[in-house]
């Protein structure tokens, strides 16, 4: 409490102290809100900003001196950003929850994209099979099932693929696990790149990829009765429709991820991550629990891959480089391993840099700093930039942008271990005795 002045008056408090009082008062009011309600408030606020984004993005400020960081993404780019965030949340189940270092997650992305392409395109001209397809003439050859069913089938097929990929790695840990998953991540993209002539059968159309892929939509019947879009690609606001659908898929992924984290299976994953030997001693079935992590993480990776393939109207092998696996892993590490909200924030930031941010930064630097004779192509050094960001995070905030509470305690308490006893040297008093 402030001491009274010479005339009995309390001196005025400084600006910093008043700000601290306001902050503490806001904190007390926030803590009075029930925990369950408090957890939904940030989600509601983010959705209130995100859902109308296609309507107000054109009105946001542009063409100012700091254009490179206030250059908001177009709706088209935002769809790609959201899809990568879905994949990052799926990878967080494998790496963040179960502690299984996966360097081959791009394989699930590729498998989901190609599964959707096989089930909703004219790739297989030998057959003419339609089931619930929207906007496709019955005479169009190929396999054309409802794209929504194709998304689900792609996710399921990828989950099964995750099981087959995970089974050979269940007894491996650390670097050995990373090397094996890296191998699988290289095998599948190489396979689809060269599967255009399997004893005369064209499975993947080689380096040209499979295109076009059927568009999402609800058909003319639901369009006439409920006003739902008959076909996304044929609608005048196609990017908006893909954007809102991506938000719905992200919400589904986040909901499942949070519920899994708090479930019995999620607690088993965390126990394995913290100490696999102790978890096995407590009766946790290691092989089955790890397999579930691979399967569920692959499910969401395949779902995102199928949706992005439909958005791009094609699945192309050039999209499935190893760099994608590293890129997604950077999102998990930067956001905080095991932290759903941290991965969403970091995924959004890195995906924005990848899609538009680095290009905007390069343009601003070349126009305002570097002369025309010494221009720089910033996107060319993207992975070097991501590496610097990760190194700085490991130095100054190793728990991530928004760390998971349990993970934060592990890192903070990990450096306070002390020796149980100390042996004295031969020339010291009490040699050979424990201190």
Residue 201 has pLDDT above 60, yes or no: yes
| Mean pLDDT of the region 256-283 | 89
Q: Are 319 and 188 in contact (CB under 8 A)?
A: no
Q: Are 408 and 400 in contact (CB under 8 A)?
A: no
| pLDDT tier, 412 (very low <50, low <70, confident <90, very high otherwise) | low
Q: What share of the chain is helix, strand, coil (3-state, %, to 5)?
A: 65, 5, 30
For the ranges 47-51, 106-110, 377-381, the one whose mean pLDDT is highest: 106-110
Q: What is the pLDDT of residues 162-184, one digit of tens each?
A: 898 878 877 777 778 888 888 88
Cα 306–chain centre separation? 15
Q: Dihedrals φ, ψ of 234, to 5°? A: -90, -5
Beta strand 120-121 pairing with 142-145: antiparallel
Is residue 227 left, alpha or beta, with left meaning phi > 0 and alpha meaning psi from -120 to 50?
left
| pLDDT tier, 123 (very low <50, low <70, confident <90, very high otherwise) | confident
Q: What is the pLDDT of residues 140-164, one digit of tens each?
A: 888 889 899 999 999 999 999 889 8
Q: How many CA atoms lie within 13 A of 413 on its CB side?
A: 6
| Mean pLDDT of the region 90-118 | 91
Q: Are 155 and 112 in contact (CB under 8 A)?
A: yes
Residue 62 has pLDDT above 80, yes or no: no
Residue 87 has pLDDT above 90, yes or no: yes
| Mean pLDDT of the region 412-420 | 51
| Mean pLDDT of the region 380-391 | 86
| Mean pLDDT of the region 424-433 | 52
Please, what is the average pLDDT of the chain? 82
How many Å apart are CA 315 and CA 109, to the nearest integer?
A: 10
How many Å apart are CA 435 and CA 109, to the nearest integer?
A: 57
Q: What is the pLDDT of residues 65-79, one digit of tens each?
A: 455 555 677 888 899
Q: What is the pLDDT of residues 321-372, one digit of tens each?
A: 888 888 999 999 999 888 899 999 999 999 988 887 787 778 777 877 888 7
**For 134, which DSSP code?**
S
Q: Are 383 and 354 in contact (CB under 8 A)?
A: no
b/e string for 281-294 if b means 16 or more Cβ within 10 A? eeebeeeebbbbbb
Residue 427 has pLDDT above 70, yes or no: no
**Residue 210 bridge partners (DSSP):** 315
Residue 38 has pLDDT above 80, yes or no: no
Specify the pLDDT at position 6.
53
Nearest to 216 by CA among 192, 255, 252, 243: 243
Specify the pLDDT at position 421.
44
| Mean pLDDT of the region 22-29 | 79
Q: Dihedrals φ, ψ of 31, to 5°? A: -70, -20
Q: Dihedrals φ, ψ of 213, to 5°? A: -105, 145
Is residue 8 left, alpha or beta, with left meaning phi > 0 and alpha meaning psi from -120 to 50?
left
| Non-local CB neighbours of 411 within 8 Å, separated by 6+ positions | 398, 399, 403
DSSP H stretches of helix in 238-381: 238-261, 264-274, 276-281, 286-312, 322-335, 340-352, 358-368
| Mean pLDDT of the region 42-71 | 73
Residue 222 has pLDDT above 70, yes or no: yes
Specify the pLDDT at position 42.
79
Using CA atoms, how far residue 13 sits from 7, 8, 27, 167, 344, in Å, is: 17, 15, 20, 65, 40
How many Å apart are CA 56 and CA 322, to the nearest integer?
A: 36
Using CA atoms, how far residue 256 sits from 53, 249, 276, in Å, is: 25, 11, 24
Quote the pTM value.
0.85
Nearest to 270 by CA among 328, 177, 278, 330: 278
Specify the pLDDT at position 402.
84
| Non-local CB neighbours of 25 within 8 Å, separated by 6+ positions | none
| pLDDT tier, 122 (very low <50, low <70, confident <90, very high otherwise) | confident
């Amino acid at each position: 409490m402030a001491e009274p002045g010479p005339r009995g008056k309390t001196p005025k408090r400084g600006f910093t102290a008043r700000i601290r009082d306001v902050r503490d008062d806001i904190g007390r009011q926030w803590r009075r809100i029930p925990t369950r309600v408090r957890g939904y408030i940030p989600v509601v606020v983010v959705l209130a900003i995100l859902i109308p984004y296609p309507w107000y993005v054109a009105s946001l400020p542009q063409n100012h001196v700091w254009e490179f960081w206030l250059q908001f993404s177009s709706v088209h780019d935002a769809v790609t950003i959201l899809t990568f965030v879905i994949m990052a949340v799926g990878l967080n189940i494998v790496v963040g929850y179960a502690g299984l270092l996966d360097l081959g997650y791009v394989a699930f992305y590729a498998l989901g994209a190609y599964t959707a392409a096989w089930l909703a395109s004219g790739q297989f001209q030998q057959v003419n099979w339609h089931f619930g397809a929207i906007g496709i003439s019955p005479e169009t050859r190929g396999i054309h099932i409802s794209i929504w069913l194709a998304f689900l089938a792609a996710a399921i097929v990828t989950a099964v693929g995750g099981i087959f990929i995970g089974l050979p790695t269940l007894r491996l840990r650390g670097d050995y696990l990373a090397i094996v998953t890296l191998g699988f991540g290289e095998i599948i993209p190489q396979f689809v790149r060269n599967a255009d002539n399997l004893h005369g059968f064209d499975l993947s159309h080689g380096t040209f990829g499979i295109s076009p892929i059927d568009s999402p939509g609800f058909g003319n019947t639901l369009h006439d009765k409920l006003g739902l879009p008959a076909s996304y690609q044929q609608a005048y606001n196609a990017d908006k429709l893909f954007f809102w659908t991506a938000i719905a898929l992200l919400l589904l992924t986040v909901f499942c991820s949070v519920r899994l984290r708090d479930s019995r299976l999620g607690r088993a994953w965390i126990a394995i991550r913290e100490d696999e030997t102790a978890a096995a001693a407590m009766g946790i079935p290691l092989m089955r629990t790890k397999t579930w992590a691979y399967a569920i993480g692959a499910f969401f990776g395949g779902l995102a891959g199928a949706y992005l393939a439909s958005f791009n109207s094609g699945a192309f092998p050039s999209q499935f480089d190893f760099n994608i696996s590293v890129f997604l892993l950077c999102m998990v590490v930067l956001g905080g391993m095991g932290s759903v909200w941290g991965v969403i924030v970091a995924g959004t930031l890195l995906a924005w840099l990848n899609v538009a941010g680095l290009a905007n930064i390069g343009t601003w630097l070349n126009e305002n700093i570097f002369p025309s004779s010494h221009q720089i192509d910033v996107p060319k050094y993207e992975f070097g930039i991501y590496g610097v960001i990760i190194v700085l995070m490991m130095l100054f905030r190793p728990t991530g942008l928004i760390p998971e509470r349990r993970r934060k305690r592990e890192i903070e308490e990990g450096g306070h271990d002390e020796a149980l006893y100390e042996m004295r040297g031969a020339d010291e008093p009490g040699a050979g005795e424990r201190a």
